[in-house]
Chains A and B, each alone.
Chain A
Amino acid sequence: MTATGIGAPVKRKEDFRFITGNGHYTDDLNRPGQTYGYFVRSPHAHAKIKGIDSAVAATMPGVLSILTGKDLAADGLGPLICGWLVHSKDGNPMKVGPHPALAVDRVRYVGDHVAIVIAETYAEAKDAAEQVNVDYDVLPAVIDGAVAHRPQAPQIHDEAPRNLAFDWELGLKDETDAAFKNAAHVTRLTLANNRLIPNAMEPRAAIGEYDKGSGHTTLWTTSQNPHVARLVLSAFVQLAPENKLRVIAPDVGGGFGSKIFIYPEETVVAWASRKVGRPVKWTAERSESFLADAHGRDHHTHAELALDKDGKFLALRVKTIANLGAYLSTFASSVPTYLYGTLLSGQYAIPAIYVEVDGVYTNTAPVDAYRGAGRPEATFVVERIVEEAAREMKIDPAELRRRNFIRTFPHQTPVIMAYDIGDYEASLDKALKAIDYQGFAKRRAEAEARSKKRGIGFSAYIEACGIAPSAAVGSLGAGVGLWESAEVRVNPTGSIEVLTGSHSHGQGHETTFAQLVSDRLGVPLESIEIVHGDTDKVQFGMGTYGSRSGSVGMSAISKALDKIEAKAKKIASHLLEAAADDIVLKDGKFTVAGTDKSITFQELSLAAYVGHKFPTSEIEPGLKEGAFYDPTNFTFPAGCHICEVEIDPDTGVTRIVKFVAVDDFGTIINPMIVEGQVHGGIAQGIGQAMLEHGVYDPETGQLVTGSFMDYCMPRADDLPSFEIGMTMTKCPSNPLGMKGCGEAGAIAAPAAVINAITDALGRDIAMPTTPERVWRALNEPKLAAE
């Protein structure tokens, strides 16, 4: 390992500009002649629009234009799309209700987009927006996924009777049913996976600018995948031809999935800039983020696990209702289906699995991928029911897991996935040791003596990351390929630009990607720039989500580096007068093996561009190579998290006293950044388990948790110090052996926390485990008696 290469805990190159306020986030950018847009949003969860009167607003100071869904349609802009097609049991495609960027005749959730007011200043736009008079005919609303497909529920889209977008299934129905008949024990569990509101630190923002001369539209936007945004906006929304549309995602402050999607606001400002002939900027207020960023999770699930008398898993049967919100967001259909059902085997050999998912529309913000996307929901089902089964059968939960671990690889599950490699027992053993599992009984007794309740809970999670290969995701309904691209440009002075289709919005790619290049070419980190987030600079790419930038994005860079090395060696062979096969690249030097004849990388770079000393008829001058990399499989990070809690029965306050995470992420480029990712993920997982809940009023559909006054984000003092450990099996499906680490914490933590709390309580409890819920769980018999 070199000081800056693979495995080095290098400090993040990008942090200096971020922490000194010198980043360039979308809202930091201002264009000459810029105007400001403010959206008129629906105050109702469900209503018909009878008319929009903007006559008064249009005369207000500074107002330039007020545009509605009718104007958008008149210009031929189509609705936003859902890019993943899933099918119902009967073979029919999912039922898609149109999602215009500005509502035409109906609004379907509080915060739905009705009109945009464009003015000289933001305040003027906002003042005028208040005077846009929308005549609504308010309709009854439904917000609960479990209620939405009852026959009497309000109908949200004409295209989807009973609000059912799809009823999807996966797995072996008959085999599963048969296994349950022969089971010695069946554990049943009904659970809810609470709705979460992402709350990236940087709210969404967009600037649209139309150049009349060239006919080009430029869109600066807070995106995790600018090329996909450009593709969707040109090919489907018809905003502009792809070659006339440039999408730039500059510094982006957090995404967690919520910035993958193509949203109404960015679509509208790009189009509106053409209408008013000047740039149009929109930046979300935090309140708008709460209302109109895609939310996460929101499942109701009933699960059953069949076991034999020794605790061997025979079958798992799962029925889930997934609340999709008012419209299908960009990847909404994939999250509760192919990113969920396919992970229900967990780390276990389960011969038969059958899962059914009803995706339903409700009058709530669209629900789409949020850190983990489907896999936290799957892990929660599997790890909760395994823990319950252990308790019911009076088998130690660690032992029950051990009896069912997959131990031979590759392993084909009954739900599509073929796990390539792993060592689940290694991470369990390491985690048990780290938390001192042997000492738990003593700690519990000691807590009991202080009138406190202690509990311990496990989560032996698995996830499928990379979200690739293309053919595999294509066969499951993805509308795009899920490879990644890279271009490595060596400059004549030996400095390097790497153009990547991945996008960094907090992950630290400028550091880790540079470490890979430094490791391979021996070039110092300062000489390496990572270029991303601009469709005019970077060749087509697929963006960052699903912990894919390492395993897929860096593999593409690695492949381009292979080509650079091969070509450089050819050039070196002429410069050093040796056979190319005899040239060795090490420590930034090309050396003829077994001699002291060498040339530095910088000297070679210059020679490549000068072209004086090698035959340019055989070897093209220059040193620049590109690669598109499509992996052979998903990657399967896995590990074991254990949580220990202590509850104050007087108040219901729960404190996490210990949290151990042992993860197998394959090869690690920068352990410091990986630990940071694990910490953040666990914090979000604990947030889901104990604090966060997106709540709508069931009658009016108003968002009750519309600010930080009511939506409880995890804070430092809600969290313990995490104890982090690693195990390693190298991923065989990409050249670097990487698996991905970005989502693990959010996937694993909720089940570990809830298993610990239910252990302490001796009964089930819903997320988030607010103090009152915990207090009630402890006192319910007493409260009922009073």
Chain B
Amino acid sequence: MYSFTYRRPASLAEAQKLFEGASDPKFLAGGQTLLPTMKQRLNAPSDVIDLGKIAELRGIAKSEGGLTIGAMTKHFEVATSADVKAVIPALAELAEGIGDPLVRHMGTIGGSVANNDPAADYPAAVLGLGATITTSKRAIKADEFFKGMFETALEPNEIIKSFAFPKPEKAAYMKFPNPASRYAMVGVFVARTAGGVRVAVTGAGPCVFRVPEMEAALAKSFTPDAVASIKVPAGDLNSDLHGSAEYRAHLVTVMAKRAVAAAG
């Protein structure tokens, strides 16, 4: 780790002011990606601005037709929240399956989504449920948020404040973990919502994506068989030591079937 200046602002405004005044700043949420990359000297910010003391970024609230979750809410809090379990149990289960207990007690939903790791779990829920992301500047729809590998619609000094998740009629997330890292090699979030069926896939490609053919088929018949013969093209998917693009494409179908079955 290289030397850096550590900042811990008490408000969003102060955080943004510190960001403006630094040469190469980074916001620190749960630190589950930033800190390991800093330790490996792959990341060398001049200033690390810790968002952990900003009260308005935390908390889970039931809202009209769904849930609002503050960006700095930890995975453990989402996994164990009675409100989340009641309104969107699939989201609690997804959070319970992220990393290990240490990660779940440090990592945050906002940090995960802002980082947009292609193998992260939360982007599948945000996109799969059609959540709305409220930032320090504006509200962004999930469909407009995820732009590419580690890329989002966020501007440099823009901070995620909260996520508004609509309550789905049915939803489930199925993850096929990478055997070594336990990140999603393929993760499929399936939801039937008032706005239609959504299928979001993480881990398989460079960025979380929807599968319109599956959504259309499930809109007609919300059964595992409906997606059993739908394959995503392997050409767009990731390939590595643990899984070729062809295998990942196959797993998308298998995990989609299982997610539909689990959603009931």
Taking Cβ atoms with an 8 Å cutoff, the residues of A that contact B are 123, 127, 130, 287, 650-651, 691, 695, 704-705, 708-713, 770-772, 775-776, 783
Instruction: Given A651-B254, A704-B241, A705-B241, answer yes or no on A712-B247 (Cβ-Cβ < 8 Å).
Output: no
What residues of chain A lie closer than 8 Å to B180, measured between beta carbons? Answer: 691, 705, 708-713
Say how far A128's CB is from chain B's closest CB, in angstroms. Answer: 13
Q: A770 to B250, Cβ gap below 8 A?
A: no
Q: Is residue B181 within 8 Å, beta carbon to beta carbon, of the partner chain?
A: yes
Q: Is there contact, CB below 8 Å, between A710 and B181?
A: yes
Q: How far is the CA of A756 from the CA of B143 in the complex (A)?
A: 47
Residue of B nearest to A693 (CB): B241
- In the complex, are the beta carbons of A770 and B179 less than 8 A apart? yes
A772 contact from B1, B2, B244, Cβ within 8 A: B244
Query: What is the CB-to-nearest-CB distance from B259 to chain A, in angstroms, rounded to a whole number?
Result: 13
Scoring B180, B242, B243, B244 by chain A CB atoms within 10 A of each residue's CB, the highest score goes to: B180
A711 to B250, CA, bound (A): 23
Query: Is B251 at the interface (CB under 8 A from chain A)?
Result: yes
> Contact: A712 with B254, CB < 8 Å?
no
Minimum CB–CB distance for B185 against chain A, Å = 9
* Interchain Cβ contacts under 8 Å between A and B, 17 examples: A123-B1, A127-B2, A651-B251, A691-B180, A695-B241, A704-B241, A705-B180, A708-B180, A708-B181, A710-B242, A711-B180, A712-B180, A770-B179, A771-B176, A775-B250, A776-B247, A783-B246
| In contact, A691 and B179 (Cβ under 8 angstroms) | yes
Which chain B residues border A130 with CB–CB below 8 Å?
Answer: 41
Q: Is the CB of B176 within 8 A of A772?
A: no
Interface residues of B in 21-80 (CB under 8 A from A): 40-41
Q: Which of A287, A650, A771, A775 contacts B179 (CB 8 A)?
A: A771
Cβ–Cβ < 8 Å partners of A713 in chain B: 180
Residue numbers in A under 8 Å from B41 (CB-CB)? 130
| Bound form: Cα–Cα A783–B1 in Å | 46
- What 0/1 pattern do residues 1 to 13 of B give for CB contact below 8 A with A? 1100000000000
A704–B241 Cα gap in the complex (Å)?
8
A651-B251, A710-B241, A775-B250 known; 5 new pairs, CB 8 Å cut-off, are: A127-B2, A651-B254, A709-B183, A772-B244, A776-B247
Assess whether B247 is in contact with A772, with CB atoms less than 8 Å apart.
yes
**Which residues of the partner chain B approach A127 to less than 8 Å between Cβ atoms?**
2
Q: How many whole Å from A405's CB to the nearest CB in chain B?
A: 37
For residue B203, give the distance in angstroms from its CB to the closest CB of chain A.
Answer: 14
Of all chain B residues, the one with the shortest Cβ separation from A130 is B41
Q: How far is the CA of A710 from the CA of B243 in the complex (A)?
A: 11
List B contacts of A712 (CB < 8 A).
Answer: 179-180
Provide the residues of chain B in CB contact with A776, threshold 8 Å: 247
Q: Which residues of B contact A771 (CB under 8 A)?
A: 176, 179, 243
Chain B residues, Cβ within 8 Å of A783: 246
> Which residues of B, 155-202, contact A by the 8 Å Cβ criterion?
176, 179-181, 183
A775/B181 in contact, CB under 8 A: no
Smallest CB gap from B180: residue in A: A712
CB of B247 within 8 A of CB of A775, answer yes
| Binary per-residue interface labels of chain B (225-252) against chain A in the complex, 1 for a CB within 8 Å, 0 otherwise | 0000000000000000111101100110
Q: How many A-B residue pairs have CB under 8 A?
A: 40
> What residue of chain B has the Cβ atom nearest to residue A648's Cβ?
B254
Chain A residue contacts of B1, Cβ below 8 A? 123
What chain B residues lie within 8 Å of A709 (beta carbons)? Answer: 180-181, 183
Question: Min CB distance, A708 to chain B, in Å?
Answer: 7
Q: Which residues of the partner chain A approach B181 to less than 8 Å between Cβ atoms? A: 708-710
Q: Is the CB of B243 within 8 A of A772?
A: yes
Within the complex, the shortest CB–CB distance from B180 to chain A, in Å, comes to 4
Q: Name the distance in Å between A119's Cβ and chain B's nearest Cβ.
A: 15
Nearest chain B residue, comparing its CB with the CB of A691: B179
How near does chain A come to B170, taking the closest CB pair, in angstroms? Answer: 22
Minimum C-beta distance from A546 to chain B (A): 30
Cα A192 to Cα B204 in complex, Å, equals: 30
* A258 → B minimal CB distance (Å): 20
- Return A43 CB to nearest CB of chain B, in Å: 14
Instruction: Report the bound CA distance from A458 to B241 in whole Å.
Output: 29
Name B1's closest neighbour in chain A (CB-CB): A123
Q: Which residues of B contact A123 (CB under 8 A)?
A: 1
- On whether the beta carbons of B242 and A772 are closer than 8 Å, the reply is yes
A770 touches B254 (CB 8 A): no
Given A708-B181, A709-B181, A775-B250, are A651 and B243 neighbors across the interface (CB < 8 Å)?
A: no
CB neighbours of B241 from chain A (8 A): 695, 704-705, 710
Tell me the smallest distance from the CB of B198 to a CB of chain A, in Å.
Answer: 23
Instruction: Look across to chain B and name the residue whose beta carbon is closest to the beta carbon of A713.
Output: B180
Q: State the CA gap A709–B32 with chains docked (Å).
A: 14
Q: Which residues of B contact A705 (CB under 8 A)?
A: 180, 241
Q: What's the least CB distance linking A92 to chain B, in Å?
A: 39
Docked Cα-Cα span, A695 to B240, in Å, equals: 12
Min CB distance A376 to B, Å, is: 21
User: Which 5 interchain pairs have the tightest Cβ spacing?
Assistant: A712-B180, A709-B181, A772-B247, A712-B179, A650-B254
Assembled-state Cα–Cα distance A635/B179 (Å): 37
Task: Name the residue of chain A whose CB is nearest to the CB of B254.
Answer: A650
User: How distant is the Cα of A770 from the Cα of B241 in the complex, in angstroms?
Assistant: 10
Chain B residues with CB under 8 Å of A710's CB are: 180-181, 241-242
CA distance A651 to B249 in the complex (A): 11
Closest chain-A Cβ to B165's Cβ sits at a distance in Å of 29
A259 to chain B: closest CB distance in Å?
A: 24
- Bound complex: CA A449 to CA B137 (Å): 57
Most buried by A among B41, B241, B243, B254: B241
- In the bound complex, residues from chain A placing their C-beta under 8 Å from that of B183 are 709
Min CB–CB distance A713 → chain B (angstroms)? 8
CA distance A710 to B176 in the complex (A): 15
- Closest CB of chain B to A485's CB: distance in Å? 43
Residue of A nearest to B39 (CB): A285
A711 to chain B: closest residue by CB: B180
Alpha-carbon distance between A776 and B176 when the two chains are bound, in angstroms: 17
> Which A residue's beta carbon lies closest to that of B255?
A651
Give A130 to B2 CA distance when docked, in angstroms: 12
Please name all residues of chain A whose beta carbon is closer than 8 Å to the beta carbon of B247 when the two chains form the complex.
772, 775-776
Chain A neighbourhood of B254, CB < 8 A: 650-651
The smallest beta-carbon distance between A651 and chain B, in angstroms, is 6
Bound-state Cα–Cα, A705 to B40, Å: 16
Cα–Cα distance between A705 and B180 once the two chains are bound (Å): 10
A147 to chain B, nearest CB (A): 19
A772 closest partner in B (C-beta): B247
Shortest A39–chain B CB gap in Å is 15
Looking at the assembled complex, report how far the CB atom of A766 sits from the nearest CB atom of chain B, in whole angstroms. 14
| Cβ contacts under 8 Å, A287 to chain B | 40
Nearest A residue to B40 by beta-carbon distance? A287
Q: Which chain B positions have C-beta within 8 A of A772?
A: 242-244, 247
Q: Looking across the interface, which residue of chain A has its beta carbon closest to that of B244?
A: A772
B238 to chain A minimum Cβ distance, whole angstroms, is: 13
Shortest A117–chain B CB gap in Å is: 15
Min CB–CB distance B166 → chain A (angstroms): 31
A770 x B251 contact (CB < 8 A) = no
Least CB distance, A301 to chain B, in whole angstroms: 23
Cβ–Cβ < 8 Å partners of A711 in chain B: 180
| Closest beta carbon of chain A to B200's beta carbon, Å | 20
Bound-state CA distance A783–B242 (Å) is 18
B186 nearest in chain A by CB position: A651
Contacts of A651 in B (CB 8 A): 176, 251, 254
Chain A residues with Cβ under 8 A from B251's Cβ? 651
Q: How far is the CA of A651 from the CA of B41 in the complex (A)?
A: 37
A653 to chain B, nearest CB (A): 8
A236 CA to B205 CA, complexed, in Å: 54
B119 to A: closest C-beta gap in Å: 10
